[in-house]
Amino acid sequence: MADRDGVGLLLKKYTGQLDSVRHVWADSGYTGKGVGHVQEAGKTIEIVRRNNERGRGQWRTEQMPLFTAPRGFELVRRRWVVERSFGWLGLNRRLSKEYDYSIESAEAWVWIAGLRNLVRRLAHP
């Protein structure tokens, strides 16, 4: 299932638990129906695009400057939050492989990894 279709099901299932969420940052996979689902849930959404996505899929006019792709690493707004979180989780060997057969077990190990990261930060100021 595509992200833009699944976000509607997710928001319906967790309606009461997501009341504190008011604004959602999403990548370009949520454009179209995904934006509609989030707005129907009463939340605002902002699509965070990479710089090389601007003008993609459009006919170039004379007024549009030629796009040159960036070389090397390029920081994308708000994307670093997700990548950093996955990096922290990736430090745990248990989460680097698919050992678990149930969703509940995999979710428990993600919680344990998060707690481990928090305790490590509190122990070393």
pLDDT tens-digit series, residues 12-67: 888 888 888 899 888 888 888 888 888 988 889 888 877 665 555 556 666 766 66
Integer angstrom CA distances of residue 90 from 79, 85, 99: 17, 9, 14
CB-neighbour burial class of residue 118 (10 A; exposed 0-12, middle 13-18, buried 19+): exposed
- The answer, as to whether pTM is greater than 0.75, is no
The pLDDT confidence band at residue 81, using thresholds 50, 70 and 90, is confident
Residue 90's contacts (CB-CB under 8 Å, 6 or more residues apart) are: 96
pLDDT tens-digit series, residues 1-18: 888 888 888 888 888 888
